[in-house]
Amino acid sequence: MRIGIVNDLPMAVELLRRTIATTAEHHVAWVATNGREAVEACALDLPDLVLMDLTMPEMGGVEATRRIMAATPCPILVVTASIDANVPEVYDAMGFGALDAIEVPTMAPDGGTSVQANQFLLKISNIAKLVKDSPLTRGNGRNARASFAPARRLIAIGASAGGPAAVAAVLSKLPRDLPAAIVLIQHVDAQFVPGLVSWLGQHTALPIRSARDGDRLETGTVFIAATNDHLVFRSTGELTYTSEPRDNLYRPSVDVFFESVARRWRGDVVAVLLTGMGRDGAKGLKLLRDKGYLTIAQDAATSAVYGMPKAAAAIGAAAEILPLDLIAPRLVQACGHTV
């Protein structure tokens, strides 16, 4: 892959250069020291991947991500010194279409690759496979617990690039007494899930938490897949995690969860596929539609990255294709709820 580096710290740029140089299949195309330069560089020489820092002079990484994805969309990986110190910015950038986030890798004392560097290179390799599997396509825009009540209705949501902002937009319009449980499968590393739970919690009145092994769904609660394994249902109805299929590029996988819903969930289901790169979720959504459940895909105009919903539309998996602002009202209607 040809990689663009966006970072104003010479030491960070050098660490990224050295780490990339340890591979034969990737090389640095250019370096920008702020967001403005990155936007201009992408317009002149679009790389296969941009490594985007967040805090820079002149223009930060969030605004640069927004402008790049609007004008010259390409895969963007947020690479910053500290994820924990920049949680709001990380999810804002992902809302505009950044695929994932990771911290700047370190080098081993002997000059070789460290564990962090190997994790960084693995993430780049996975993005390379994802890009090959499904070229990037953007839309035209983006822009306290209740008492336990076992759920009889499930809203299953899958999302990837651009997902956090899209999910926040949907959840913000759902009433606190919604008569359904919600399970979200968002493509994000397990280490970022606590931050995602906290960030989404600022946008909705619904209680949100990470899904735990053995959980039973509760009406009016949002459960978020929280490990790098796949979230599924047991035959007895509890949530659990599985490493299979191991060769699935998407972890956690929307398809794996949707297929589990089709096999083992005994209540009503509404399934939603939001913005994202690749094809994950399309086959599972089709399976649910074939079983007679309502299936919804986000439209091209409001998707930050029109990949997963596009794949679903292509195979007739979505009974309805809706702009983002109409998805929440449709979910409320489907649940038989009146405001």
Given the residues 160, 253, 260, 303, the one annotated as active site: 160
Given the residues 48, 100, 134, 187, the one annotated as active site: 187
Tell me if residue 280 is catalytic: yes
Given the residues 100, 255, 280, 299, the one annotated as active site: 280
How many Å apart are CA 208 and CA 200, to the nearest integer? 8
Tell me if residue 187 is catalytic: yes
Tell me if residue 160 is catalytic: yes
Which residues carry out catalysis? 160, 187, 280
